Amino acid sequence: MASIEEVKQRKERAINELDETKRTLEAFKEDAAQGKLLGKLRLWLADVKEGTAVQRAEWKETVVDLAAEKKRLEEKEEYWARR
C-alpha cells in the first residue's frame, strides 16, 4: 500500500504534468493564431518518424539477440542430452 508521502508525490507530479499540458496547449493556440502551427507539426511528425525508425531498429536488434540466445540454449540442451 502506498504511503501518504508517495500519494502526495504522485498528486504533485500529476498536477505538474497537467500544468505542462496546459502550457503546451496555449503555445499551440498562439502558434495557430500566428500561422506557425503547421511548421511545428511538420517538425514534430519528422521527430516521431525518426523516433519510430530508431525504435524499430532497437526492437530488431533485441529480436536478433533473443534468437541468438535461444539457439545457444538449444545447442547447450542438445549437448547435455547427448551426454
pLDDT higher than 70, residue 74: yes
- Report d(CA 28, CA 82) in Å as an integer: 67
Per the structure, the complete domain to which residue 20 belongs is given by: 1-35
Q: What is the pLDDT of residue 18?
A: 86
- Do residue 49 and residue 16 come from a single domain? no
- Do residue 45 and residue 81 come from a single domain? yes
**Contact (Cβ atoms closer than 8 angstroms) between residue 40 and residue 31:** yes
**Rounded mean pLDDT of 34-49?**
74
- Report d(CA 32, CA 15) in Å as an integer: 26
- Do residue 28 and residue 57 come from a single domain? no
Q: How confident is the model at residue 1 (pLDDT cuts 50, 70, 90)?
A: low
- Do residue 28 and residue 62 come from a single domain? no
pTM above 0.85, yes or no: no
- Domain total in the chain: 2
